[in-house]
Amino acid sequence: MQMLLKDGTLLTGQETSRRFIEAVSYLLLGKPADHSANSFGSELLLIVGPELDRNGLLWLGRVAMENLRSVIYVTILPETPTFADIAFAAHVGDKTHVHQHCMLTLAKDSTRGRLVPRSFTEGGYRFNAKGQPQPVATVANSEAAIPDMTRAYVRFGKLLRRHPVGAWTPDLLSAA
């Protein structure tokens, strides 16, 4: 999916996906995704793709289980280009937890956001620097989370629009 910036720049689907991955990474891990580092996100896979159906959610859980890593799956919604639909799968012990339609929250004076399942009854996740999910308590409902969600999505939108110096640019032609 392409994204139109306020200055009129039309981003390719690949650039849009890259910006979404970097924004999610920066908001949840406190650092942008460094696709060249071997150790970056060693406990976390970040994926952009089309909306998941039931079979897609089963696939996502299988990816987490087979790789022994948590997976954040981002779907870019055409009708709301700065609001991502986020699914999350985590392999914990002998169980794999899969959540669909997760929300981003950012507590006041916090530098890193949290990922919260839409129901708000299961708590949320904060991620350490390596990408390991840490269960955390959250507010009891979406109404109480509105200030934290607003902060998160305002910051998310700003992260999407920025173009970091030295940003990762894949050379797909030489990779073929």
More confident residue, 160 or 12: 160
More confident residue, 10 or 145: 145
Confidence of residue 171 (pLDDT cuts 50, 70, 90): very low
Residue whose C-alpha is closest to residue 11's, from 113, 160, 117: 160
Lowest average pLDDT, out of 12-16, 50-54, 66-70, goes to: 12-16
Q: Which residues contact 96 (CB under 8 A, 6 or more apart)?
A: 61, 62, 64, 65, 89, 90
Q: Name the percent of the chain lying above pLDDT 90.
A: 27
Task: Give the model's pLDDT for residue 165.
Answer: 42
List pLDDT tens digits, range 28-45.
988 766 555 555 456 788
pTM, two decimal places: 0.81
Q: Looking at the predicted structure, is the pLDDT value of residue 87 above 90? A: yes
Task: Give the model's pLDDT for residue 173.
Answer: 41
